[in-house]
Chain A
Amino acid sequence: MPLEDVAVGQILVKQSYLSEEELQNALLEAKENKQSLINVLSGQGLITPSLIQGALAEHYKLEFYDLQTNPPSTEELASLPEAIARKYFVIVVEKKENSVKIATTDPQQENLEEVIRVNLGKEEAVFPEEESTEKKKEKKGEEEEKKSEEPKKEKGKEEKPKSKEKEVKEKKKAGGGFFGLGRKKAEAEGFKGKITYVFASKEGIEAMFLRYRKPLATRFQQIVDAEKEVAPEILVEIINDAIQLRASDIHFEPQGDKFTIVRFRVDGVMHEAGRIPKIYYEGVVNLIKIEANMRIDEHFAPQDGAGDELL
């Protein structure tokens, strides 16, 4: 889950992207004007989204992964169920036989590694069981006991501060194993290869969620199979999808003799939306040309046209 603004502000100070004084001033301004802290810092010209991502990646000691220049394939993305990806803000960006690379906004989430191991390659999401009320009470009691013991510790025997990595490991160890199908079974069935985490921006990951939609091809495949008027129906499906996904452009990319890839640009990022078999592509293009008052016998020169009654 993405961090709150104030936590991001503290990380920016810790990583020397911002001074403490600048953060305090911005917090005051944000409170006075009821604005988000990040908006105030951006307005003051102190920070940009890419600097924030850099600071967070530094904080988590992870490599920054640019989803815009290296988007994962549809297969890689689909190797984690959508519900898991959305809940934990994680996506698979690279998958090999024995290793997987996961982009996330927060690698320190409780149970994250187990959730990924159990869910990799699954179609249906498996979530950790919610802790029962009794367990929660027990845990709370233990925590309070620990707190009351802390002041008793002698000053001279102060424990060394735990490293961040160690803390995360312990957190995972303590919190893990709440899966409904039983921890042992979950472990036995789960992915056993190496998991590497990389940091990606919240916006980049959100843009990837759009690709979890069923590919366009699966919808128009039914039309193709029915052998009806293929071109108009495919085109209408493509345009409907583009409108629904708030795409700014539709790109047709012919791939030799096999098929044509249809891509949508959504929030500035190109996404594969589906594939049209080559035998139907010509019909789709001709239909667009007719509707836009272009010559259908011109295949080599660029043409410019417009139409407003396609639907």
Chain B
Amino acid sequence: MDSTISEQRSRTPLRSTAIEGLKIVVVGGFGVGKTTLVRSVSEIRPLNTEETMTQAGLGIDHTHGVADKTTTTVAFDFGRITLNEQMVLYLFGAPGQERFWFLWERLFAGTLGAVVLVDTRRIEDSWYAIDRLEHHGTPFIVARNNFPGPLHGLEDVREALTLSPDVPLIDCDARDRDSAKHVLITLVNHLYALSSARETVS
């Protein structure tokens, strides 16, 4: 029965010429608008999946004995953007809670970069995500989801996040397609600048 349903689900297939999958991760606390942002730019209705892993499969150093074997489950959603004949960008909305970062390498190694989506009413939710991204050396930008309207200036946000001046910080409206698109372009522009600078040095 359910195979009939899944066959009939309106899945939009990729072009047969697609060869290159890319990843960008949107990190943020619950209710900050990650899924909304993904939905605004995705060509498919956002899909949800999860990764489950016992500690043995985590690939991290653990100082405790094997006796405390634990299972970690992280749910995340994603959307898709066909960039051209060959390239397809997957946009992941991922929770920033602690257990998620155990799976970061496993799931998001090779990600182009990350967007930290911030709700200024709960700015402290973002500290941990920014700390972890810096730890992993993943380039990122910060986007303030500007709903229901800003309470603070962006420079106050930069200060509250103790964000380095070279990390782009912008306002966005996750519900708006052009605004969500601008968030992605700002990130990739940032990556382009970083990559160009490295090529000049080396």
Q: Do A and B bind each other?
A: no
Residue numbers of A with Cβ under 8 A of B are none
Write the residues of chain B forming the contact surface with A, with a CB cutoff of 8 angstroms. Answer: none
